[in-house]
Amino acid sequence: MKSFNQVASAFAFVGTLLAASSAFASPADIAQQAYRGQLDGIPGYQRLEQGYNSRNISIDDIITAAGKEPTTELRSSVRSNLRAIADVK
């Protein structure tokens, strides 16, 4: 039983770390994760560029997939960071 509790505690700790890192993701982190295809429902690399440029994927889609609330400031920052790393307009 002690072993089970240790494993459960370890999983809880890792989950807390992952949630905390997501909560503090910067606009640059969000853009990088989107570009790499690391956000649920957002394809990476060329498919992201095509989807974004054809307006099938929006900045709000990306921000929401990152677990954030879209705001004017966050939209602008993520868009700028995405433009710096990808061929998006």
- pLDDT tens digit sequence for 30-86: 999 999 999 999 999 999 999 999 999 999 999 999 999 999 999 999 999 999 999
- pLDDT tens digit sequence for 26-38: 999 999 999 999 9
Q: Alpha-carbon distance 18 to 83, whole Å?
A: 26
Given a contact cutoff of 8 angstroms between Cβ atoms, the answer to whether 70 and 60 are in contact is yes
Given a contact cutoff of 8 angstroms between Cβ atoms, the answer to whether 74 and 27 are in contact is yes
